[in-house]
């Protein structure tokens, strides 16, 4: 399993968001040092689970591309960089984001250069005037790709996304996002409103009131058609960003830490995960999410057969992000 990450050296909340992200408040700016500590714990946990983390900032140095001062405060949220996929020709492609917020538009050239020059992907650009925000709104599930629209990704973009259908054979399933009927949190990206198990399982945990009624019915229908099942999340689980999680399937974990001496160098939560995975061969993988996950969600993940690791991500919550936002899973 490969992911793209970016160290949060430029991370900040400099203003309120005009496009649905109600978490952002310039009067509640993140502690940059604490954010780096939280990000490092996430990155180290993923590496300990055999996830190959590509650090974009390291490659930018190699390519001679320097970020302009303290600009691009959201570039650490790499999930939004692109939707990556493998075509019928077995080549890898990156459908680059067209960011709706102006503060994020400068990220594009750096992601484009990384995908092309480092990974060898062919990059595809969205036409001007259409907005699309990568894996935050485009999530594969079986033989379809769920695409959330309404706040960042625009409905008009869906027609262009038919290129993905042509190149992969996977069908685009549009899901309209909406403001829930109570509370202040808004699903500005679909990855805030659902947790998807897509490798060994066909399971989605989603907050119903984040979707238009017809879209939630369509989501349920498509999951059933794929032989999976849908679990309803609560408003609390959605609003505290605990659905924004990284799922690491068991098949991607290399159990290379064999002795207690070796295990002692790894964070206690990772050591516990490794021990549990060794003892229980029926465990299907590991889920990493925020320590805001309530008892109900924790129990649900465990019942699904996954070991749960919760990490503090408080500073990224101030910008509306979680574990999934910080890790662009690469196709």
CATH of the domain at 216: 3.75.10.10
Is the pLDDT at 264 greater than 50, yes or no? no
Residue 67's pLDDT band (cuts 50, 70, 90): low
Give residue 165's pLDDT. 96
Top pLDDT among 275 and 248 is at 248
Give the tens place of pLDDT for each residue, 191-214.
999 999 998 789 999 999 999 999
Q: Assign 257 a pLDDT band (cuts: 50, 70, 90).
A: low
Using pLDDT thresholds of 50, 70 and 90, give the confidence band for residue 267: confident
Query: Quick one: which of 4, 174, 202 has its CA closest to 92?
Result: 4
Angstrom CA distances, 15 to 73, 136, 187, 275, stand at 11, 21, 19, 44
pLDDT bracket for residue 144 (50, 70, 90): very high
pTM score: 0.94
pLDDT at 261: 43
State the pLDDT at residue 263.
46
pLDDT band at 178 (very low <50, low <70, confident <90, very high): very high
Given a cut of 60, whether residue 189 has pLDDT beyond it is yes
Grouping H, G, I as helix, E, B as strand and the rest as coil, residue 35 is helix
Range of the domain at 100: 2-330
Is the pLDDT score of 69 beyond 70? Answer: no
Contact present, 29 and 317 (Cβ < 8 Å): no
User: Is the pLDDT at 59 greater than 90, yes or no?
Assistant: no
What's the confidence (pLDDT) of residue 265? 45
What value does the CA radius of gyration of the chain take, rounded to a whole number of Å? 19
> Which long-range contacts (C-beta less than 8 Å, at least 24 apart) are formed by 161-165?
161/95, 161/132, 163/95, 163/124, 164/83, 164/85, 164/95
The C-alpha atoms of residue 132 and residue 155 are separated, in whole angstroms, by 9
Query: Among the listed ranges 57-61, 120-124, 197-201, which one has the minimum average pLDDT value?
Result: 57-61
- The Cα angle at residue 242 between residues 257 and 103, in degrees rounded to 5: 105
Distances (CA, A) of 169 to 189, 242, 280, 321: 24, 32, 37, 31
Q: What is the pLDDT of residues 268-300, one digit of tens each?
A: 888 888 888 888 888 999 999 999 999 999 999
Q: What is the tally of structural domains in the chain? A: 1
Q: What pLDDT, on the 0 to 100 scale, is given for residue 262?
A: 44
Q: Above 80 in pLDDT, residue 61?
A: no
């Amino acid at each position: 399993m490969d992911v793209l990450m970016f160290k949060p050296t430029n991370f900040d909340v400099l203003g309120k968001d005009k496009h649905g992200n109600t978490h952002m408040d310039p009067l509640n700016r993140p502690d940059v040092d604490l954010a780096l500590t939280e990000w490092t714990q996430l990155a180290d946990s993923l590496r300990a689970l055999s996830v190959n983390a590509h650090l974009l900032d390291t490659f930018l140095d190699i390519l001679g591309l320097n970020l302009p001062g303290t600009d691009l405060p959201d570039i650490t949220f790499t999930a939004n960089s692109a939707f990556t996929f493998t075509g019928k020709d077995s080549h890898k492609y990156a459908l680059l984001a067209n960011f709706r917020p102006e503060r994020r538009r400068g990220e594009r050239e750096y992601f484009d250069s990384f995908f092309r020059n480092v990974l060898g992907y062919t990059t595809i650009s969205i036409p001007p005037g259409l907005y699309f925000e990568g894996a935050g709104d485009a999530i594969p599930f079986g033989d379809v790709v769920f695409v959330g629209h309404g706040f960042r990704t625009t409905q008009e973009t869906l027609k262009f996304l038919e290129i993905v259908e042509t190149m992969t054979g996977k069908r685009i399933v549009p899901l309209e996002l909406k403001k829930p009927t109570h509370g202040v949190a808004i699903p500005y990206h679909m990855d805030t409103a659902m947790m998807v198990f897509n490798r060994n399982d066909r399971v989605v945990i989603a907050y119903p009131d984040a979707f238009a009624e017809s879209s939630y019915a369509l989501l349920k229908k498509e999951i059933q058609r794929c032989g999976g099942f849908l679990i309803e999340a609560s408003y609390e689980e959605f609003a505290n960003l605990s659905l924004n999680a990284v799922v690491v399937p068991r098949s991607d974990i290399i159990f290379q830490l064999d002795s207690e001496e070796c295990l002692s160098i790894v964070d206690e939560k990772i050591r516990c995960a490794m021990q549990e995975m060794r003892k229980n061969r029926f465990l299907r993988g590991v889920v990493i999410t925020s320590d805001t996950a309530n008892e109900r969600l924790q129990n649900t993940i465990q019942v699904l057969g996954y070991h749960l690791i919760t990490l503090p991500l408080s500073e990224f919550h101030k910008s509306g992000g979680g574990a999934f936002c910080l890790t662009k899973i690469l196709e």
